Amino acid sequence: MDIILKYFSDFTETQTKQFAALGELYSDWNSKINVISRKDIEGLYEKHVLHSLSIAAVIEFKPGTQIIDIGTGGGFPGIPLAIMFPEVQFHLVDSIAKKLKVVQGVADGVGLTNVTVQHTRAEEIKNRKFDFVVSRAVAPLKELWTWGKPLIKKGNTQELPNGLICLKGGDLAQEIFESGLRPRMVPIDQIFKEEYFKEKFLLHVTA
């Protein structure tokens, strides 16, 4: 929890309690349904929560914004962002039902009212549009864009144009080339100084 407060300090009392509760909730759920590797659960706040919040360091979503988290897994980046932005609506989707049981359990456990979950593949969602698609280490950029683009409302509702925001690591040159896209890239180690964030990037593709 301290590592979160190192970079973000203007939380309400409710948000502070919600972030603090994540450690125990994830440990408890993870012992029943494994969604985070055993070694990573110890570094939950750095490797999962703070990593997710790199998006919040780049954009402050306005109240009423609609966001879909594709392939949310254990709820990242969706759950930390939902705590950070209580007036923003988050729709967390995954194709694996048991992961969503954990996500719903954690959301209920911290009292989030701005999170919905859906057991589906992103490409199967019809007749719904969002301001942003977010994703963390789910699929190559080309595939993410194929799934995400039809779900994004056209327009520019805030400081960043509507689009896809994804968190990725490693040498992305080939992946970006194959996607045919020209994303804005933000090195996360310019935001957070911990060694873990070296060679990790935030990519933003405009719709």
Q: Is 184 annotated as a binding residue?
A: no
Q: Is 123 annotated as a binding residue?
A: yes
Distance, CA of 122 to CA of 90 (rounded, Å): 14
Q: Is 175 annotated as a binding residue?
A: no
Q: Is 111 annotated as a binding residue?
A: no
The pair of structure tokens assigned to 68 is 């879909």
Q: Is 56 annotated as a binding residue?
A: no
Beta bridge partners of 204: 165, 184
Residue 198 backbone phi and psi in degrees, to 5: -65, 135
**Residue ranges of the binding site:** 71, 76, 122-123, 136
Binding site residue list for S-adenosyl-L-methionine: 71, 76, 122-123, 136
